[in-house]
Amino acid sequence: MRRLSRLLTTTVVTSALALTGVVSPAEAARRAEVFPVAGPATITVTGHGYGHGHGLSQYGAEGAAQQGLNWQQIIDFYYPGTSWGELRGSIKVLISGDTTSDVQVLSQPGLKVTRLAPRTTWTVPANRAKRWRLQPRGPRTLVQFKRPGGWTSWKSLRGEAEFSAVSKKITLVKNRTTSTYRGRLRSAMPTAGSGTRDTVNILGLEAYLRGVVPLEIPALWSPAAVSAQAVAARTYAAAERSHPNASHYQICDTTQCQVYGGYDVEHASATAAIRATARQGLLYDGRPAFTQFSASSGGWTSAGSAPYLVAKEDPYDGWAGNKVHTWTVDVSDATLEKHYPSIGDLTSIEIGTRDGNGEWGGRVQQMSLVGTTGRADISGETLRTLLGLRSSWFTFTVAPLTARGQR
């Protein structure tokens, strides 16, 4: 039988609030919750949601679609105050998985190489080479092909260069694997004259989305949910494009931006959703909105950095298929002590402030780990990162260990 510690608070709440577990935003912001830890213990973290909670909840979008909302209504719910607009053009994507300075591709009919300045394009010869590459040589780029005897230089170009193909798809060789991309693959200089290069994929916004949407949401979910994701991803990319990550690319291909896998991950259902919403995006003050999204809101979205990223109750997130709407993780007191050895033996966990939205008072803002020799004041996001938690919306229960190390 699990023996749970009693939650202690430093403030007194009304009996109605105590019974429901719901507190007002002001109360959640000021009250401190104290979870005593007496000796070795298992600490159960119970939480809601997956991700930061800003903007669209992907599980919520599917829940809304199951309740009959169309993709425009889903978008309007999660990004209130935005307006609809048309988004076009191309985008430059850093291919982070290619960690070498060269850009190496498989040979194919109609393969071309272009020098960027002055812009000149050549079709590579049909010489039975298996691979071609752009190899940096100081401020110049060597165009080389590979045969059984090794690499041979074909041209030496001043500045940057890129590959393209008549088929509009190119297969990149990276770290002993291959991936195919639409558009062009550039050997891009991080700074002018740099001898090191990054691989950057340049392609149209709609083609780019084909490699994003199936990785961000299950393509076989309801068409309305997948279409809403397409709009959010298109708008997010356009916003990043207007505030580029670097001088030589505009967006990355990882979760630090939004995940992009190129041609290999495309799915017919996701492509259909992209076509159904073609060029449709969200604007705020005439510019692409910063349409952040996460897997699950847990029942409340959280306020973000823009007026349309609001904190609001989400009635669509809690459908039966959402296994991260509520979750639990067990950790030991020793795990926390290992991360913060200066506190000594952990004696209590204190939550100082929350955002005031939802069960327990919402997402943890500030908290402390208190021990025999000190305390560590941290944020809920910090603990989330340290323990690999799904979100910063959580609470604790503490169970002491028996002499045999069992609860």
198-204 vs 90-94, strand pairing mode: antiparallel
Mean pLDDT score across all residues of the chain: 92
**Segment 1-28 mean pLDDT:** 34
pLDDT in tens, 143-182: 999 988 899 999 999 999 999 999 999 999 998 899 999 9
User: What are the tens digits of pLDDT across the range 74-131?
Assistant: 999 999 999 999 999 999 999 999 999 999 999 999 999 999 999 999 999 999 999 9
Question: CA 230, 236, 240 angle in degrees (round to 5)?
Answer: 145
What's the confidence (pLDDT) of residue 195? 79
pLDDT one-digit tens code per residue, 171-218: 999 988 999 999 999 999 998 877 789 999 999 999 999 999 999 999
CA distance 210 to 240: 17
pTM score, whole prediction? 0.89
| pLDDT at residue 406, rounded to an integer | 56
What's the chain's length in residues? 407
The pLDDT value recorded for residue 12 is 28
Spell out the SS3 assignment of 106-152. Answer: ECCCCEEEEECCCCEEEECCCCCCCEEEEEEECCEEEEEEEECCEEE
Query: Which residue has 């190129």 as its token pair?
Result: 262
Q: Inter-axis angle of helices 71-78 and 223-242, to 10 degrees?
A: 50
pLDDT at 19: 32
Mean pLDDT computed over 300-318: 98
Helix (H, G, I), strand (E, B) or coil at 318: coil
Distance CA 379, CA 366 (A): 4
27 has a pLDDT exceeding 70? no
Chain segment 348-370, per-residue pLDDT in tens? 999 999 999 999 999 999 999 99
In the chain, pLDDT over 70 holds for what percent of residues? Answer: 91
